[in-house]
Amino acid sequence: MKRKLALIGKDISYSLSPMIHGEIFREMDYDATYELFSVDVAELPMLVEKLKSEYVGFNVTKPHKQNILPFLDDCDLKSVNTVRVDGDKLHGASTDGYGFSRDLKIRFGEKIKGTALVLGAGGVARVIAPELKKIGFDVYIRNRTVSKAEELAAENWDKPIVVTTNVQFFESLYANRTSRCRKIHNIAESVIVFDEAQMLPVSLLRPCIRAISELTAHYGCTAVLCTATQPALDGLFGAGTVLREICPDTAAMYADFRRVRYEWCGKLSDDTLAERMQNTDAALCVLNTKRTTRQYFEALHTPGTDDGVYHLSTYMTPRHLAGTIEKIKARLQAIREGTVRGRCLVFSTSLIEAGVDIDFPTVYRELSGLDSIIQAGGRCNREGRQSAAESVVYVFEREKVPRGLEEVCEWVRGDLETCPDISAPEVITRYFRRLYGANVREKTDRLDKNRILPLIDHREGDEAYIPYREIAELFRYIDQRDQMRILVPNEENRGLCEELRRGIVNRKLLRTLAKDMVTLYTEEYNALRDKGVLTPVCCGIAILEDDYHAPRYYDPECGIVFDREAEALFCEA
């Protein structure tokens, strides 16, 4: 059967690619054809569907090297010129960087280095610049807009200070794609600061620690792990790794910085907790599930009024989350200054525990992991306006512990009942030692769930072989395979939503719309799909077909609404 390949671009009738590929196919005795498709951006979705069903692969040229990106699966490249069709999936690659550096080496020798000036910061420059840096050039980028040139340098970690995420950092180290790997040489001889170190995922902890150990042992790096709840990682680093506290007397500093006290309430009924919150002027209540968080909010909030009751969960879009957090901060400040008489009651999931700078006099936290409870405590008396005795974090238990937290909650419950201060360093250390496993077998399984390190350490046969693709698939810091994105239309983005519906897709458009998207698990997505209110467009995105003037399935105050009748209130406000 004759294989079909193609080149897609715009105004490319001049291209000699069909003739060149035809000659190569004949020389290789390869039974294939090579065609040209000249299309506009709006025609890409229909063409991509045709290519997926009839072709084994295709090349991409101007102006679509970036326009094609949203249609690709698991692609983190900034520019693509080659796409392989694998069933219903498209895998992109770029040969521009490799081809460019190979040609330089052929012309000028393997040890070529010097200074390179890259004119422009567009698609191809995003591939060429890091390749030049990789082979030893000092690279300068010249572009009409300075911000784009700086953005390109930052994307490749080629800046004095780089701010990235744990996800991007570790997945780049364990990646099998050249696009992600070509920037990691810039890590050498750097200081790497890991904020909220306790958030390193337990199931990938050993691979993460191995990566840190490797960087410090062989690449001149220094790693700094920062957290209010320092995990017990000392036994996981290699024997040659030097570990030390930066602060000389942590026990004394702990006492100096203590701002709250923790009080165990035992089991509280829903009505009792709601009543306690109602009788408080300003308080934060952190709950374990999004459903429970909404139920409490709806029980105490009067719709359509600014009654000082707020909701925070990832069922809300980033736009509405940010807006609500700013409202909460402003109200707390107004209450402190006496310009507003009233209350400020916030019901939130654990999202508020990481990176949200907010200060409540009182916090309620549903029983969970010790690190989560202490992080919630970080939102209480944050600015030290009160004494520690006056600033209380009430830890309570509901009738049912969420699935998967039973063992952890049992440990923490015991500490709450027996320890005078659950935030003491020795209690935190004991908690993490339990969390990371009681025996060698349990520890190994728990901290490297996907058995990544054995793939590296215990290779059979050819010792040089490492299954990079398999490792990259197994090392998913956040597994997004069971997640879908929902775009919530509003007055501001309705034009961009129409572009998506017409099949006009590009990276800039998707970045702009990201603040109006909610990520749902497949089961949640199907619940909305079955109601007939979702229009799938592309890239795992569906548009919520709701009247944003009178929405039924999205509420700006509490996010995606699945079934209000099923989410019955447990008490009256």
Whether residue 63 has a cis bond before it, omega within 30° of 0:
yes
pLDDT for residue 390 is more than 90: yes
Cβ 560 vs Cβ 315: under 8 Å: yes
Average pLDDT in the 495-501 region? 86
Catalytic residue positions? Answer: 65
pTM of the model: 0.76
| Sheet order of strands, 57-60 included | 32-38, 3-9, 57-60, 82-86, 89-93
Average pLDDT over residues 526-536: 89
CB 92 within 8 A of CB 75: yes
pLDDT tier for residue 515 given thresholds of 50, 70 and 90: very high
DSSP notation for 105-161: HHHH-TT--SEEEEE--STTHHHHHHHHHHTT-EEEEE-SSHHHHHHHHHHTT-SSS
Residues 381, 383, 386, CA angle at the centre, nearest 5°? 50
- What's the confidence (pLDDT) of residue 520? 92
Given pLDDT bands bounded at 50, 70 and 90, which one contains residue 264? very high
> Is 83 within 8 Å of 57 (Cβ atoms)?
yes
pLDDT at position 154 is 66
Question: In which band, very low, low, confident or very high, does the pLDDT at 72 lie, cut at 50, 70 and 90?
Answer: confident
Kindly state the average pLDDT of the residues 416-443: 81
Contact 83, 72 (CB under 8 A): yes
